[in-house]
Structure 1
Amino acid sequence: MRWLIPSIAALSLAVPSSHATAAPGPAEPPCRAGTAPYQRELERELRLPVDGRQSTADCVAVRRLQQRLGIRPADGAASLRTYRLVVADRVRRDPAARRGCPAKPYRVTCVDLTRQILWVQKGRGLVFAPVPIRTGRDGLETRRGWQRIYWKNRDHFSTIYNVPMPYAQFFNGGQALHGTRADLFSSGSGGCVNLALGDAKRLYALLAKGDRLHIWGTKPGTGG
């Protein structure tokens, strides 16, 4: 039986121990994003010291937040895009943050011009989670108040602006909810409520002709 001893010893060396320490994963690269326009807002959101100046700790905290929300690139920069997506996430999680929109027993599409987000609720329950939007620029503001969807067109094309308006749902004259490939975080629309294409497609499938919208607030940088 002595010949078995070296074989068993060799086998014990070949089989990894269940108590072996796992190899550490790759270290994250240094966070080097500088101060960005929404520095103070994200410092408040993350309960960091609010001084409006990016520190290494700020950068790392913002990057971790971006990673949690799936924001790309997750570079730690306090950009408008990051801020808007953080606001949308907060409104999703906190019913108190949705109180600007009236609770009704039917579906209401809530368009918050001030925070530039949209969601759909029935009572106080969410049926379409908050998403960032782009509304009318100065002089072409999205019209406020109660509105109603009066026409839907999946493949609409604007002859006025010479642009496609996929998943269009018209609520006031030529103003509509619709998808766009344009940057939602710059400039503004001609009065329509622009959504990312995927969001516009989901909203088109949810809403019906006659559904109500409530639009309130003031888009930053506009007069109304």
Structure 2
Amino acid sequence: MKRRLNVGLRWSGAGRRAGVSLALAVLTVPLTLALDTTSAQAATVHAAASPCTAIRGPYQKQAEKFLGRRVDGRQSAADCRAIRDFQTKHGITPNIGYAGPITWGVMRLVTQQKAAGHNPNKARKCPTGKGRIACVDLTRQLSWIQDGSKLVFGPVPIRSGRDRYETRTGAKKIYWRHLHHVSSIYHVPMPYSQFFDGGQAFHSISGSVWSAPGSHGCVNMRGNDAKKYWSLLRNGDDVYVYGRKSGT
């Protein structure tokens, strides 16, 4: 590998070659979510005897509205089951049906992603004059592939870098692909890796792309989405990253 990666590391002499290998392996381990609030911690005691909590969360009304439930701000058994099902589907733990800030944050993201529909580049923030290009919108945590103004695939949900490990914005190009890449730092598989900026790459993860707080800079994807990106993109294809992830 002759290309030097710029990931903020300093090396010289023989250490340069080892540094390149290290940079290529930068990736995140899916993180388990903490409880939404201190109040929710108390709810786990109740949850030990029951699969659902009776405690009303601070975002109870918002969750009820999102899920199409009766909006009364009171936690019913049916409300809890609906919230818990959403948490389970999106990898939010503990999934005890508590409407806390993490759960509501994911609901807001899902709403924005659904609103993108089949026209994610309506605002024309991703260039349309470059032919085949992979677009990454950090604000909505979405990515898609377009050819000019034609949508080729997506949009799909992604998980970008967390605070202090932000996915870098701007125009990039895919320069190295490794189907069965494994992180030498975290010793975890990184299938369908396509590197576009130093150690930052598209790749699939085994956990949830909605889980907080985020990656160490890579664009995490669901397995089938990363596989499709692998089939559609090649070395030299353009990537454009823009926006800002909430909390970074």
Please confirm whether the aligned pair reaches a TM-score higher than 0.5, indicating the same fold: yes
CA-CA distance at 1:114 after TM superposition: 1.2
Gaps of 5+ in 1: 1-31
CA-CA distance at 1:85 after TM superposition: 3.1
Say what the alpha-carbon RMSD is for the aligned residues: 4.0
TM-score of the superposition, structure 1-length normalised? 0.65
CA change 1:84–1:159 in 2 (3 A) is same
For 1:144, give the aligned amino acid: T
1:103 partnered with 2:103: no
1:199 partnered with 2:225: yes
CA contact (8 A) 2:159 2:215 kept: yes
Q: How many residues are aligned here?
A: 184
Whole-angstrom CA distance in 2 between matches of 1:96 and 1:209: 23
TM-score of the superposition, structure 2-length normalised? 0.59
The structure in which a higher percent of residues are strand is: 1
Whole-angstrom CA distance in 2 between matches of 1:149 and 1:72: 29
CA contact (8 A) 2:175 2:235 kept: yes
Q: Show the counterpart of 1:162.
A: 187
Q: Among 171, 195, 200, which residue is 1:146 paired with?
A: 171
Whole-angstrom CA distance in 1 between matches of 2:124 and 2:55: 35
1:159-198 to 2 correspondences below 5 Å: 159-184=184-209, 185-198=211-224
Q: Show the counterpart of 1:26.
A: none
1:1-224 to 2 correspondences below 5 Å: 37=59, 54=73, 79-94=104-119, 97-184=122-209, 185-222=211-248
- 1:139-189 deviations in Å (ceiling 9; x for gaps): 111111001000111100010222211000000111100000122231111
Secondary structure at the aligned position of 2:117 is classed as helix
- 1:79-133 deviations in Å (ceiling 9; x for gaps): 4444333322221234564522121240111111111111111222211111111
CA change 1:106–1:83 in 2 (3 A) is same
Q: Show the counterpart of 2:29.
A: none
Whole-angstrom CA distance in 2 between matches of 1:206 and 1:149: 12
CA-CA distance at 1:219 after TM superposition: 1.1
Whole-angstrom CA distance in 1 between matches of 2:167 and 2:120: 25
For 1:158, give the aligned amino acid: S
Whole-angstrom CA distance in 1 between matches of 2:61 and 2:137: 22
The sequence identity of aligned pairs, in percent, is 39
CA contact (8 A) 2:118 2:155 kept: no
CA change 1:170–1:134 in 2 (3 A) is same
For 2:171, give the aligned amino acid: W
Q: Show the counterpart of 2:27.
A: none
- Greater RCO (CA < 8 Å, at least 6 residues apart): 2
